[in-house]
Amino acid sequence: MKKLLQLLLFMGATLMSGFIAHAAPKATDKTAYDFDFESLNGEPMPLSAYKGKVLLMVNTASKCGFTVQYKGLEELYKKYKDKGLVVIGVPSNDFGGQEPGNAQEIKKFCQLNYGVTFPMTAKYAVSGDQAHPFYKWANEVLGFGSGPKWNFHKYLLDSQGKPVAYFGSNTTPESGKIAGAIEELLPGK
């Protein structure tokens, strides 16, 4: 009986020490810089390349009623890029199948119709079980209900790579809400 008790105590201690040593990091321990995408050109696009920048991550679609927001996103990018903002478009076919194109078609559409010059990733899932890990993480950090519900959902991240706000599809890039939040995060504020 004594040996059985010693064995159980040893196993318990071993399990506990293994559990503590291998505890999963909390979502808040990460930053956007821990995530990588692929660009529309098929090149690696690590978010760590944007360290020190304020990021506006937007899931986009070419055949959506909100597609006209590309224009406002490009204007935001041009207005604030020299002050430290990077807008990043993330094409997604998650909502209504409204981004059916391949990378070249998406790139051509964005450049011809809206003059998009801000960085764009390859097409990714942004919702559900197949969502890109960045989207799962941002939703976890910002809390229940913060994930994309439709195209042109926007996550705003500070210059340390932490999500600080999200804006639904109905909040346009021209909105004073978005510009005000960006201005609060830019260097010199």
Query: What phi, psi does 118 have (nearest 5°)?
Result: -75, 155
The encoded tokens of residue 173 equal 């890039």
Q: Which two tokens stand for residue 75?
A: 């204007």
Residue 177, H or E segment: helix 176-185
Active site residues: 64
In a 10 Å sphere around its CB, with 0-12 CB exposed, 13-18 middle and 19+ buried, how is residue 32 labelled?
A: buried
Nearest to 110 by CA among 71, 142, 78, 139: 71
| Cα–Cα distance, 87 to 74 (Å, whole number) | 8
Instruction: Count CB-CB contacts under 10 A for residue 2.
Output: 6
- Chain centroid to Cα 58, Å, comes to 7
- 37 SS3 class: strand
